[in-house]
Amino acid sequence: MAYRFCHSRRALVALIPGLVLALASCGADRRGALPVALAGDETAFQTAATRPSPAAQVLRAATVEGLVGFDAQGRVVPAIAERWIVTDDGLSYIFRLRDGTWPDGTPIDAPSVAAALRRARAALAGTALGLDLAPIDEIRVMTDRVVEVDLSAPLPDLLTLLAQPELGLPRTRLGSGPLGLRREGLVASLSPIPPEKRGMPAQDGFSRSVRPLHVEVESMAIAAKRFNDGLVDVALGGTIDSLPLAGTTMLSRGNVQLDPVMGLFGLQVLRAQGFLADPLRREALALAIDRDGLVGAFGIGGWSGTTRLVSPEVPDSDGSVGERWSDSTLDQRRALARQRVLAWMAAGEGAPRLRVAAPDGPGSRLALARIGADFASIGVQIERVDEGQPADLRLVDTVARYTRAAWFLNQLACPVSPAGCSAAGDALAAQARTERDPQARMALLAQAERAVTAANGFIPIARPLRWSLVRSGVTGFSPNPWGWHPLPPLTVVPK
């Protein structure tokens, strides 16, 4: 079955034809709890982790507000900050805080918010998100209800970054909502917290306008089956690893929605030793992959392979970096790659055998089967291992947090991904962060991309895919560019 993927990141809705049939919602009472399945495991409830799992990000965002948050469409909306202004030079963001209290009853004020924001930023040191926030120079208290964030260089995506779940601001380890969570095993009940219990004015009819969520944390395979059986109305968290589940006959009654995301899907070098010590031998692996064949095996119309690290759709690309090896056929690329493998073996080394850390879902198995055949064509064998086991490569499937070249470069920076990284690329990216002239900044970013690409520490294959199952009639859900879906909009009772 061929699926059609809406490729533009601006697309609002992407549906898989042939899998759409209007069904009534499971619950007859629209104010009853909405049953939701969230792909994940026990780590979903480790919401305070510095690197939370995707499911934990969803639960953290629902229960721990930051200065701002996301709506269903992925747009930035007020949260603890009720409004903000940006200075003309783009170097200061001034936030006015809403009236309200923390969970312990103390008022939400600028000193406590600024302190929480500083702690959240410090906890991200050494991570890619920490690098994204590097232009923040100072977080200042201006008045009792005004916080100013000063930058060393313009950061147009600061609001998007501050809306990330990791930038939620807890008080004494408790979040300020907007949802409260009660957990029993891998099942959680999330209920909207009344405004008066958050230190805000009461709202007439609040209890009639919202409903709780009954969230089951489970594998996407189980989530898909429960959706098909009519036991849940929404299943969130589908990835490439679970994508083949959307093609089963069982799901012919469901609504499968794809998010218009950017990001990285490919192989990351974890161990730049042995065969992988040389950038040219790492490039041999990149040369061997039949990207069109791999993405074609999934049957997603409009989904195409790429040899680039940075998405060509980012607004700060100067257009000077294109696809690699566009003047060579696949056979020519593989012939060159095979020569490098044979030269390695001629030096007395055995045939390369590489361990690839990857999930064991149907999508990952399909992708690795194609990659394994491609590598075998040049004399390299691979073996799948579980995450956490010793590995040479890892199958990466990560969605961009914001749509700029810096996100891609920060993911592959030496502090974050040291094996096969480019110190020269890092230096150029750092220089770009401080460059205020837009054209000069784009030129530096292009140079950085070339340097990181030449290091071959990451082998791009395609953009990521994110999908969900949503029953007809469910409101509060919309495909968005970030690939995860806030829970609070789902609590609003449809009119």
The confidence score (pLDDT) of residue 95 equals: 98
The confidence score (pLDDT) of residue 350 equals: 87
Looking at the chain, the whole-number percentage of residues with pLDDT higher than 70 is 92
The confidence score (pLDDT) of residue 175 equals: 79
Q: Is pLDDT above 60 for 24? A: no
Which band of pLDDT confidence, cut at 50, 70 and 90, is reported for residue 344?
A: very high
The confidence score (pLDDT) of residue 213 equals: 97
The confidence score (pLDDT) of residue 200 equals: 85
**Two tokens, residue 495:** 């009119």
Q: If we measure between CA atoms, which residue out of 213, 225, 226, 227 comes closest to residue 182?
A: 213
- Residues forming beta bridges with residue 393, ordered by sequence position: 269, 356
The confidence score (pLDDT) of residue 299 equals: 87
Q: What CATH class is the domain 1-48+177-261+467-495?
A: alpha beta
The confidence score (pLDDT) of residue 25 equals: 40
CA distance 487 to 112: 26
pLDDT tens for residues 123-179? 999 999 999 999 999 999 999 999 999 999 999 999 999 999 999 998 877 778 899
**By the 8 A CB rule, do 163 and 84 touch?**
no
Taking CA atoms, 96 is separated from 78, 132, 333, in Å, by 10, 23, 56
Residue partners of 169: CB distance under 8 A and separation at least 6: 64, 65, 66, 67, 80, 113, 116, 117, 120, 176
Who has greater pLDDT, 223 or 174? Answer: 223
The confidence score (pLDDT) of residue 248 equals: 56
pLDDT tens for residues 69-108? 999 999 999 999 999 999 999 999 999 999 988 888 899 9
CA distance 238 to 422: 32
**By the 8 A CB rule, do 458 and 395 touch?**
no
The confidence score (pLDDT) of residue 50 equals: 84
CA-CA-CA-CA torsion sign (115, 116, 121, 124): positive
Q: Is pLDDT above 50 for 21? A: no
Q: What CATH class is the domain 65-175?
A: alpha beta
**By the 8 A CB rule, do 169 and 64 touch?**
yes
Q: What is the average pLDDT score of the chain?
A: 90
CATH superfamily of 263-462: Dipeptide-binding Protein; Domain 3 (3.10.105.10)
pLDDT tens for residues 430-483? 999 999 899 999 999 999 999 999 999 999 999 999 999 999 889 999 999 999
Which band of pLDDT confidence, cut at 50, 70 and 90, is reported for residue 300?
A: confident
The confidence score (pLDDT) of residue 6 equals: 37
Q: Is pLDDT above 50 for 238? A: yes
Average pLDDT for 37-54: 93
Q: Is pLDDT above 60 for 41? A: yes
Backbone angles phi, psi at 224, to 5 degrees: -65, -40
Looking at the chain, the whole-number percentage of residues with pLDDT higher than 90 is 79
**What pTM value is reported for the model?**
0.90
CA distance 240 to 242: 5
Length of the chain: 495
Q: How far apart are the first and last CA of the chain?
A: 36
Q: If we measure between CA atoms, which residue out of 54, 64, 264 comes closest to residue 173?
A: 64
CA distance 341 to 287: 12
CA distance 149 to 114: 9
Break the chain into its structural domains and give their ranges. Answer: 1-48+177-261+467-495, 65-175, 263-462
Q: If we measure between CA atoms, which residue out of 253, 240, 258, 185 comes closest to residue 218?
A: 185
